[in-house]
Amino acid sequence: MAEPVLETQHLTMRFGGVVAVDNVTFTLRRGELRCLIGPNGAGKSTFFKCLTGLLTPSEGHVLMQGEETTGWPPHRVAALGVGIKTQVPNVMDGLSVQENIWLAARRFVPSAQAAAKTREVIDRLALGPIARTELGRLAHGERQQVELGFVAASDPWLVLLDEPAAGMTAGEVARMTEVIHELNRTAAVVIVEHDMQFIRSIASTVTVFHQGAILIEDDVETVMSDPHVRNIYLGKKA
């Protein structure tokens, strides 16, 4: 069995009296691709933010490649070689696609290599026709792809994606799936997602969140046929 690259131990996140993430112990191993699913308010995104450093957990630990990263600011987490894509496209609107991706590439390689890396990522994501266009002028799906470009440009060993397929066309989702599989060759991947079709197409193992805790963790077909999961997802008795 491959070694764990991401672990949480008894991770808890409280907002006042509300427990958004409740004592979650989670392990992701090298080369794994895991989807986190669950209904709205299940705690997936809060859990995701605790991993990325956007939130500091109230209790528990986060370990990346065995190193304690609990409470680290996002830049330190990212600097470890973690590629992060947030739920809402989080890009530099006033800069071109090329400049955006260059900024991600430059973080990990010297200036001269960053330009070559930028071209490589632009080709890989087929962003050539819009390379010089400002992000503020692009459609939602294109912006999502650029954000995936940030991840690709950093050559990560761990990729954390929050709803990467949201608001994308079928063609864009297909390309996104391809890129994620490509990233998964060298990196473990965690995807927070709602789109069940996308999850079926991409994941083998799924972790279901419910009321801030892990409800079930199994292969995608087993999870989808689980009566409890169907109940909480569809809101009816299976």
Number of residues that bind another protein (CB under 8 A): 39
Pick the closer one to another protein by CB: 95 or 196: 95
Find out whether 192 and 48 touch, Cβ atoms under 8 Å.
Answer: yes
Binding mask 63-102 for another protein (x = CB under 8 A): ----------xxx--xx----x-x---xxxxxx---xx-x
Calculate helix-pair angle for 97-106, 111-124, nearest 10 degrees. Answer: 130
138 forms part of the interface with another protein (CB under 8 A): yes
* Separation between Cα atoms, residue 50 and residue 55, nearest integer Å: 5
215 forms part of the interface with another protein (CB under 8 A): no
- Contact pick of 2, 31, 132, 234 for another protein (by CB under 8 A): 132
Q: Which amino acid appears at position 150 of this protein?
A: F
Pick the closer one to another protein by CB: 129 or 227: 129
- Contact pick of 1, 3, 40, 111 for another protein (by CB under 8 A): 111
186 forms part of the interface with another protein (CB under 8 A): no
CA quadruple 41, 213, 10, 33: dihedral, nearest 10 = -90
Pick the closer one to another protein by CB: 25 or 113: 113
Cβ–Cβ contacts within 10 Å for residue 221, how many?
A: 11
103 forms part of the interface with another protein (CB under 8 A): yes
104 forms part of the interface with another protein (CB under 8 A): yes
Least distance (Å) from another protein to the CB of residue 162?
Answer: 11
* Strands (E) located in 136-178: 158-162
To 5 degrees, how large is the angle CA 129–CA 198–CA 232? 145
Give 218's contacts (C-beta < 8 A, 6+ positions apart): 205, 206, 226
* Separation between Cα atoms, residue 188 and residue 140, nearest integer Å: 26
Residue whose C-alpha is closest to residue 36's, from 186, 188, 199, 175: 199
Pick the closer one to another protein by CB: 71 or 94: 94
30 forms part of the interface with another protein (CB under 8 A): no
Least distance (Å) from another protein to the CB of residue 102?
Answer: 7
CA 135 to chain CA mean position, Å: 21
Pick the closer one to another protein by CB: 183 or 220: 183
Where along the sequence are the contacts to another protein (CB under 8 A)? 52, 54, 73-75, 78-79, 84, 86, 90-95, 99-100, 102-104, 106-108, 111, 114, 129-130, 132-134, 136-142, 150, 154
